[in-house]
Chains A and B, each alone.
Chain A
Amino acid sequence: MSVKEADRVLAARGRIVEDPERRSVMRPTRWKRYEAPAVGTASVVFVLTTWQLAANAGLAGIFLPGPLAIVQAGIKLFQKGDIWVDIATSAEEVAIGYGLAVVAGLVLGLLMGWYTRFQYALDPYVNFFYSTPRIVLVPLFIVWLGIDIESKIAVIFLGALFPVIINTMAGVRNTEAALLRVARSFGASDALIFRRVVLPGSVPFILTGFRLGVGHALTGVVVGELIAARHGVGKLISDYGVTLQMDKMFVGVIIIAGSGMLLTTLLGRIEKRFQSWRPDIRR
């Protein structure tokens, strides 16, 4: 019996405890698996505590409320209920603007990637808008569309549209030449090449575009509402900001940051699902 076999037999009988020095190369220890969240949590707790202590010591006066004060302000705001109108307004703007941007960006990006002439025709506009901060258009939209949700939807749409277009187009363009050659050699139709080779290969790029779009959409909603709005989380931040109610203002900031993290995580999950064939991610 070799040493290895002996080990296995002994282990099976429960005589020896797993020797920490001898383990499979690929299998992570239990600590490795929890290392990232553990260290992350510890770090956040440390920063929040320091922040609270600084606030308690009155280092920045009313300009920097502590985390506890912010939580209390949040509870009060949610109890009062007005904040729901702001959240619902901003959510509606983002949902419509971002939703339209994703659909339109996907369609335009695929068309531009697939048909060179279509790209030639649209390139000037894409370049113009992509290299311009779309925020500069907010005053224009307010004049055209008013201070209700329409102007915000427009700026969110334009904000998220171009990252989606550009990344989708890059995905189509980056289709591996060897794969195209194989498909053509077997006599595949253009439709089949698009469906079976180009589209699946573009998914990672498309999802990257979606993720970048989230950031642009949130920037759009906040800045749009800061400039002119009736309701919305951006409006809330601006109102409490100018009246120096910092604790309440922070509640708005956290709502925006939280939704950004939530949407990005969600898209990250989808991305992982679509890439289960990548051996390094599957693990």
Chain B
Amino acid sequence: MTIQPLGMAKLQAQGVAIEYWLARSETLFTAVNGVDLEIPEGEFVAIVGPSGCGKTTFLNAVDGLIPIAAGSLTLDGREIRAPGRDRAVVFQQPGLLPWRTVTGNVIFGVEAQGTMPAKEAKERAQQYIEPVALKGFEDAYPGELSGGMQQRVNLARALLTDPEMLLLDEPFAALDAQTRELMQLELLRIWNKDRKTALFITHDIKEAIYLADRVIVFTKRPGRVKVTIDVDIPRPRTLRVKRDPKFLGYEDQVWESIQEELAGPAERLVAGVPA
């Protein structure tokens, strides 16, 4: 673990703008503009926002997959320019190699990084297969697994690389409601062990509040930080917390903040906001 300079957050974003060149319409598309945020070591932060607000784009920039057009984005004080060993992503789509077994997929992250000999990786993979409840499925192929199990492999693959910061890009969005809740519980249980700095992108308000120490609401596109809400609910959190009045209060607060960002009159109508 790196020692940070005093007063410097783990992840620091200042005036971050991200632009895309849209080939079809030959226009520059600004996904996010002026994102300022700080995530201290060991904090779990969730970003929510209206769909298309650029939250996943921001995560991709933190991962180093896409460049930023303006501002600065630093991890441990170093400018982020490319993917690195200090970060690992849990993707929205599992992205598993279909011809590899569960073990083979779990070790793919460290294999790609080239940081661990294959034999050691396979041994250490077992330590991560157990907590994500995949024991007994080590030799199964992704095609034989349910969506929830595939996402567990996706999670274990990221954990095995032992990153400084965990980036989670709507990892449970495609799962059914029940599986999603269980996965949230499991994620917190695993996260609680070493409390790695985590950035979690989601459109599910409940999920954000349940998981995070802090919920950041993005504005509509081009996205920037609209409001930050500290979630003062003690850990460990059970699923029961979601029905706590305090939790519901946070939910109202986030929901109202997002409502104001809903763009068109139709969306406002659906959300019950007077036009």
Contacts and interface: CB of A to CB of B under 8 A. Distances in A.
Interface string A245-266: 0000000000000000000000
Contacts of B97: 179, 196-197, 200
| Residue among A184, A187, A188, A278 with most chain B CB within 10 A | A187
A186 B91 contact: no
A24 interface: no
Contacts of B89: 182, 185
Given A179-B97, A181-B65, A181-B91, A188 B143 contact: no
Nearest to B98: A277
Interface in A23-46: none
Secondary structure call for the B interface:
loop
Contacts of B65: 181, 184-185
Nearest to B109: A186
Nearest to B105: A182
Interface string A158-194: 0000000000000000001011011111111100100
B122 to A, nearest CB: 15
A279 interface: yes
A1 to B, nearest CB: 29
Contacts of B3: none
Contact of B63 (A185, A192, A278): A185
A182 B91 contact: yes
A183 B85 CA distance: 12
Contacts of A183: 108, 112
A187 B83 contact: yes
Interface residues of A, number: 21
Given A186-B161, A277-B141, A278-B143, A192 B112 contact: yes
Contacts of A179: 95, 97
Contacts of A278: 98, 143
B83 A184 contact: yes
Nearest to B94: A178
Contacts of A182: 89, 91, 95, 108
Nearest to A176: B95
B99 A187 contact: no
Given A192-B112, A277-B143, A279-B144, A187 B91 contact: no
Contacts of A189: 114
Contacts of B251: none
B74 interface: no
| Residue among A176, A182, A277, A279 with most chain B CB within 10 A | A182
A187 B218 CA distance: 28
B73 to A, nearest CB: 16
A178 B98 contact: no
A186 to B, nearest CB: 4
Contacts of B82: 187
B141 A279 contact: yes
Contact of A178 (B91, B100, B144): B91
B88 interface: yes
Contact of A187 (B93, B95, B112, B141): B112
B111 interface: yes
Interface in B88-137: 88-89, 91, 93, 95, 97-100, 108-109, 111-114
A201 B95 CA distance: 13
A196 B110 CA distance: 13
B52 interface: no
A178 B63 CA distance: 15
Contacts of B83: 184-187
B77 interface: no
B265 interface: no
Contacts of A201: 99
Given A179-B97, A183-B112, A277-B143, 16 more contacts: A182-B89, A183-B108, A184-B65, A184-B83, A185-B83, A185-B91, A186-B83, A186-B112, A187-B112, A188-B113, A192-B114, A196-B108, A200-B97, A201-B99, A277-B99, A278-B98
27 contacts: A176-B95, A179-B97, A182-B89, A182-B91, A182-B95, A184-B65, A185-B83, A185-B88, A186-B83, A186-B88, A186-B161, A187-B85, A188-B112, A188-B113, A192-B111, A192-B112, A192-B114, A196-B108, A196-B112, A200-B97, A201-B99, A277-B98, A277-B100, A278-B98, A278-B143, A279-B141, A279-B143
